[in-house]
Amino acid sequence: SKSFKEISTRDLTTIMEKNRSYYESGKVADYIPELGKMDPKALALAVVDEKGKIHSVGDINKKFTMQSISKTIALMLAVMENGEKTVFEKMGYYGTDKPFNHFANLETMGKPLNPMMNAGAILTTSLISGSGQLPFDKILDMVRYITNNPTLDYSRIVYESEKETGHRNRGMFHIMKNVGLISGGEEQLDNYFRQCSIELTAEDLAKIGYFFAHQCIRFDGDKRYKDAEMSKLIQSQMLIAGMYEFSGEYARTVGLPSKSGVGGGIVVSVPQQGGIGVFSAPLDSHGNSVVGYRMILDLAKQYNLGVF
Ligand code: GLN
């Protein structure tokens, strides 16, 4: 197989075209009504190689919401501020056989399983300091920094749509208040809804993948947040729970730390090598992009990217 160094837009185009038609076997998320309006045919694939160079094909200017991919950034900030020990006293390092919005053992164990499922992610965001919208602003600023894209913003329409219909998330939030894991008010839950609504492109995702693959060094070499332990923590969480209950099988078939979102994006870190970002809105039954997964699988095989 070829090495990551030889990645070409020609090969990326071949992979994209080979998988394009599979969007028909997925379903665009519509439990958040605004997401249901996404174009099921839009498709993009981007790679940031070892040198930080961007290669991308398809609808590369198409923006979509980050959704659960934002959980990686929130975890980084919560750990930067509180330390890993304090954060993981409140939640587990466990993998999962449950869907992303499951209450899992919140009731029985009194703690979320991990920071990649909704319960743990809502708790993680509540651990970022500051009143009102400030914790969200820190998340947005970090996404802007990592992508070197200061104009990135969140979709007010998707945010309102999530806030209105996010009853399960609100339920988890209140159980965590009940057991004393969360002390703030609902503005903390609003920040979770806002972070899910940050809009970006497949290229932006590839830059995030690169960042966690390279000890939190930015694709252009900026080392402001360099932290090898942080990148190991985030990638390990992506590996065990980033694709939810599909994570184990995904570790077997792809073998790379990855994080999906119900907006149809998936971010992949290729440790020490680079990042991959994909977008295609239709999802499988686990909430992972159908075409996105297939493109990542082909890339991982052709360039021998899996860590095992
Ligand atoms: N905003 C979504 C939710 O909370 C995020 C879930 C996801 O992307 N898997 O339901």
pLDDT, tens only, 155-179: 999 999 999 999 999 999 999 999 9
Cβ proximity of 306 and 300 under 8 Å: yes
Rounded CA separation 289/42 (Å): 12
Is the distance from the beta carbon of residue 147 to the nearest atom of ligand 1 less than 6 Å? no
Helix (H, G, I), strand (E, B) or coil at 230: helix
Is 71 labeled as catalytic in the residue annotation?
yes
Task: Give me the sheet containing 54-58, strands edge to edge.
Answer: 54-58, 44-48, 274-279, 265-270, 258-260
**Helix 70-82 × helix 187-196 angle, to 10°:** 130
Residue 1 has pLDDT above 80, yes or no: no
The residue type of 235 is Q
Tens of pLDDT, residues 9-61: 999 999 999 999 999 999 999 999 999 999 999 999 999 999 999 999 999 99
4-61+201-302: CATH topology is Beta-lactamase (3.40.710)
Asked, colleague to colleague, whether 4-61+201-302 and 68-196 share their fold, the answer is yes
Is the distance from the beta carbon of residue 277 to the nearest atom of ligand 1 less than 6 Å? no
Residue 154's DSSP bridge partners are: 198
Is the distance from the beta carbon of residue 242 to the nearest atom of ligand 1 less than 6 Å? no
Distance (Å) from CA 287 to ligand 1 centroid = 9
Q: Tell me, what's the ipTM?
A: 0.96
Is the distance from the beta carbon of residue 118 to the nearest atom of ligand 1 less than 6 Å? yes
Residue 278's DSSP bridge partners are: 45, 266
What's the pLDDT at 109? 79
Rounded CA separation 79/230 (Å): 8
Distance (Å) from CA 114 to ligand 1 centroid = 15
Give the DSSP per-residue string, 13-59.
HHHHHHHGGGGGGSB---SSGGGGGS-TT--EEEEE-TTS-EEEEES
Parse the chain into domains and list their residue ranges: 4-61+201-302, 68-196
Distance (Å) from CA 83 to ligand 1 centroid = 25
Is 197 labeled as catalytic in the residue annotation?
no
What's the pLDDT at 174? 96
Residue 289: C-alpha distances to residues 24, 232, 259 (Å):
11, 25, 11
Helix (H, G, I), strand (E, B) or coil at 292: helix
Cβ proximity of 43 and 59 under 8 Å: yes
Rounded CA separation 87/123 (Å): 9
Average pLDDT taken over every residue of the chain: 96
What's the pLDDT at 3? 79
Is 143 labeled as catalytic in the residue annotation?
no
Phi first, then psi, for residue 276 (nearest 5°) are -125, 140
Tokens standing for 91? 């939640």
What's the pLDDT at 110? 87
Residue 269's DSSP bridge partners are: 275
Q: What is the pTM of this model?
A: 0.97
Tens of pLDDT, residues 111-157: 999 999 999 999 999 999 999 999 999 999 999 999 999 999 999 99
CA of 193, closest atom in ligand 1: 1
Other beta carbons within 10 Å of 191: 25
Tokens standing for 8? 């070409």
Is the distance from the beta carbon of residue 100 to the nearest atom of ligand 1 less than 6 Å? yes
Is 262 labeled as catalytic in the residue annotation?
yes
Is 27 labeled as catalytic in the residue annotation?
no
Tens of pLDDT, residues 201-237: 999 999 999 999 999 999 999 999 999 999 999 999 9
Residue 254 has pLDDT above 80, yes or no: yes
Write the CATH number of the domain with boundaries 68-196: 3.40.710.10
CA nearest ligand 1 atom 4, residue: 118
List 192, 210, 250, 293, catalytic entry: 192
34-60: burial string, b at 16+ Cβ within 10 Å, e else = bbeebeeebbbbbbbbbebebbbbbbb
Is the distance from the beta carbon of residue 261 to the nearest atom of ligand 1 less than 6 Å? yes
List 244, 250, 293, 303, catalytic entry: 244
What's the pLDDT at 160? 97
